């Protein structure tokens, strides 16, 4: 059984090692590597509006990869939910006016075996928790609506979904605005002991969730992971920081393989410097005083 690491304090100060030196050169190399893969590398064929999406999808999963307009996921039929969802998060689109929340939860017709159904969650005591948040795609009614497909939904404890998970999602949007663009992979920890199942489709209630972030924008290339138990939390977010390598070990997934030059990937995935991802004391206070009590 995977175990949570809750002792990931701040790791290091500022830029160290190779990542501190790569700068514009590494970003250029990453771009050239992407072009090389376009002609020779292994990648998923996609119908996405963003052709780059296919190149940073995790490898090693057990599900079926499905493409939506602005994100991809791997649907695990045994658990009736995605084992991961991957997408790019743009600061530019986050600054656009928000459309009205659609709230149109529905089965995903792209899942050949049939996805979970909204009724599976009825009277379960668990929220229909988004993996890619609706607010991450609030610039477009179509993009927003696609986040309500049940393939993107996972059973989350109410005070987790509206508490520490909300805090992390809001911070991720702030980091994307600051960076300009982030690559995001998130999902349930399906190899952990589950908390049970819900509904006629027997949707697994995960014991926890992960989120992995990659920033390839100047002036600082960086990556970080978070591993969170599916329950209410009064701990600060830095307690749940993990390296990408550690998240890979917990999930069996390989993030960003073939997307970056190997030496850059190795360096970025081995470190998790929370100082490069500023937290928000006001959000933490709101979680403790308000969000956790709803």
Which residues does residue 209 pair with via DSSP β-bridges, in sequence order? 188, 228
176 near 94, Cβ under 8 Å? yes
Catalytic site residue from 8, 43, 79, 130: 130
Q: What burial letters (b/e) apply to 79-107, b meaning 16+ CB within 10 Å?
A: bbbbbbbbbbbbbebbeeeebeebeebeb
- Alpha-carbon span 9 to 167, nearest angstrom: 18
- The alpha carbon torsion through 230, 93, 285, 164 (nearest 10 deg) reads 0
State yes or no: is 8 an active-site residue. no
User: Which of 131-142 are b and which e, b meaning 16 or more Cβ less than 10 Å from the residue's Cβ?
Assistant: bbbbbbbbbeee
Residues serving a catalytic function are: 130
């Amino acid at each position: 059984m995977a175990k949570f690491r809750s002792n990931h304090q701040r790791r290091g100060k500022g830029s160290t090692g190779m990542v501190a030196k790569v700068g514009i050169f590494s970003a250029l190399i990453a771009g050239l590597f992407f072009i090389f893969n376009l002609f020779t590398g292994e990648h998923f064929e996609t119908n996405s509006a963003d052709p780059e999406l296919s190149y940073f999808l995790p490898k090693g999963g057990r599900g079926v990869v499905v493409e939506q307009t602005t994100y991809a996921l791997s649907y695990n039929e045994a658990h009736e939910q995605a084992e991961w969802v991957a997408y790019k998060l743009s600061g530019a689109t986050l600054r656009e006016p928000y459309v009205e929340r659609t709230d149109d939860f529905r089965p995903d017709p792209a899942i050949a075996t049939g996805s979970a159904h909204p009724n599976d969650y009825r009277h379960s005591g668990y929220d229909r928790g988004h993996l890619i948040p609706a607010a991450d795609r609030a610039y477009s009614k179509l993009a927003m609506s696609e986040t309500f497909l049940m393939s993107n939904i996972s059973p989350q404890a109410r005070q987790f979904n509206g508490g520490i998970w909300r805090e992390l999602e809001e911070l991720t949007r702030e980091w994307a605005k600051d960076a300009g663009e982030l690559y995001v992979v998130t999902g349930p920890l399906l190899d952990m002991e589950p908390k049970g199942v819900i509904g006629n489709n027997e949707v697994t209630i995960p014991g926890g969730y992960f989120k992995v972030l990659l920033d390839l924008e100047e002036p600082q290339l960086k990556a970080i992971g978070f591993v969170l138990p599916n329950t209410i939390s009064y701990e600060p977010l830095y307690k749940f920081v993990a390296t990408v390598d550690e998240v890979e070990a917990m999930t069996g997934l390989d993030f960003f393989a073939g997307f970056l030059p190997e030496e850059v990937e190795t360096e970025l995935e081995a470190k998790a410097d929370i100082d490069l991802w500023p937290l928000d004391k006001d959000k933490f206070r709101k979680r403790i005083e308000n969000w956790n009590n709803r």
